Amino acid sequence: MHSIFHPNNPVVRFFVKLSYLWGLNILWLVTSLPIFTIGASTTALLYAAQKLLCDEGTPAKNFFKSFRENFKQSTGIFLIYLGVGALLALDLVYWNRQGSGNGINVPWALSLAVCILYGISFSYVFAIQSRFVNTVANTIRYALILPFHHMKETLLIALTLAAVGYLNVAFSAAVNFVTLNFGVGLVAYLFAVFFSNIFAPYLEKAEPVPDEAYTASQDGDPEFEEAIAGILARNEEDARIEKAQKRQKTMA
C-alpha cells in the first residue's frame, strides 16, 4: 500500500503532473482575460511547461516569474502580431473577392502563403521569448528562421494545432470544455517536448543557479545570434569536409 502512494510511483507522478498542467491551464486562462496580456501569459505558460518537463522548480512560481519578467516585451510582440494578422486577414479577404473564378488567383495565393508563414512564426515567437534574451525585432526574426531549421518539429506543431482546432470545431461542446480545462496545458506540455529539442543546441550549458537567485532571463543564451551563427558555420564546415572527401575518392 505504501508503494502505491509513494511520490516516485509512476501513476502518482502522472496524476501529480496532470494536476500541475491543470493549474497552469487555469493560470493561463485567468491571466489572458484582459486579452492584450495573451502574449505574456502564453510566454509564461510555455516557460513553465518546459520547466515542468525537466522537473525544475514549481510550476506556479515559474509561471509568474516568466510572466513578470517578459510582460512588457511579450505584450509588445503580441500587439505587433495582432496588427499584422488583422492586415493579412483583410488582404486575404480582399483578394479572394477580386478573384474572377477563371484560373488561379495569384495575389490571393501569395497572400495565403504569407499567412501560413505568419502562422508558423506565431507558433514559435513566444516560446523563443520565454527562453532567450533578445530585442523584439530579433525575437521575431528568429521566429521566422528557426522553423525552417527544424522542419520535423515545425510539422508536428502545425499538425497538433490543426488537430486541436478541428476537434474543437467538429465536436464543439465536449471538446471545448476539455480544452478550456486541460487542453491548453496539455498542448503546452507537448510543445515543451518539441521546443526542448529545438532549443537544446542554443542554450548555454551553465551550472544550475540557486532558486532564490534564479531569473527566467538567465535560462537562455543572451548571445543567441552568435549561437545560431556557430551552428550554421559548423554545418557549412561539415559539408565542405564531406565534399573534399568525395573529391579525393573520385581522384583515387
Digit-coded pLDDT (tens) for 133-148: 899 999 999 999 999 9
Distance from C-alpha of 196 to C-alpha of 167, rounded to nearest angstrom: 26
Q: What pLDDT was estimated at residue 247?
A: 61
Distance from C-alpha of 40 to C-alpha of 76, rounded to nearest angstrom: 9
Q: What would the mean pLDDT of 54-67 be, rounded to a whole number? A: 93
Give the residue among 61, 46, 21, 34 at the shortest CA–CA distance from 179. Answer: 21
What 8-state DSSP symbol labels residue 150?
A: -
Q: What would the mean pLDDT of 63-85 be, rounded to a whole number? A: 96
State phi, psi for 99 to the nearest 5 degrees: -65, 140
Mean pLDDT of all residues in the chain? 82
Q: Which residue has the higher pLDDT, 122 or 232?
A: 122
Inside any domain, residue 60: yes
Give the residue among 81, 86, 83, 78 at the shortest CA–CA distance from 42. Answer: 78
237: confidence class by pLDDT, cuts 50, 70, 90: low
Q: What is the span of the domain harbouring residue 181?
A: 10-221
Inside any domain, residue 101: yes
**Would the pLDDT of 156 be above 90?**
yes
Number of domains in the chain: 1
Inside any domain, residue 228: no
Inside any domain, residue 240: no
Q: What would the mean pLDDT of 79-100 be, rounded to a whole number? A: 88
Q: What pLDDT was estimated at residue 207?
A: 41
Amino acid of residue 215: T
Q: What would the mean pLDDT of 204-209 be, rounded to a whole number? A: 48
The three cell numbers locating residue 127: 516560446
**Would the pLDDT of 114 be above 70?**
yes
State phi, psi for 120 to the nearest 5 degrees: -65, -45
Inside any domain, residue 23: yes
Inside any domain, residue 249: no
Inside any domain, residue 111: yes
What 8-state DSSP symbol labels residue 104?
A: -
Q: What pLDDT was estimated at residue 228?
A: 63
Inside any domain, residue 163: yes
Q: Which residue has the higher pLDDT, 10 or 220?
A: 10
Q: What pLDDT was estimated at residue 230?
A: 61
11: confidence class by pLDDT, cuts 50, 70, 90: confident
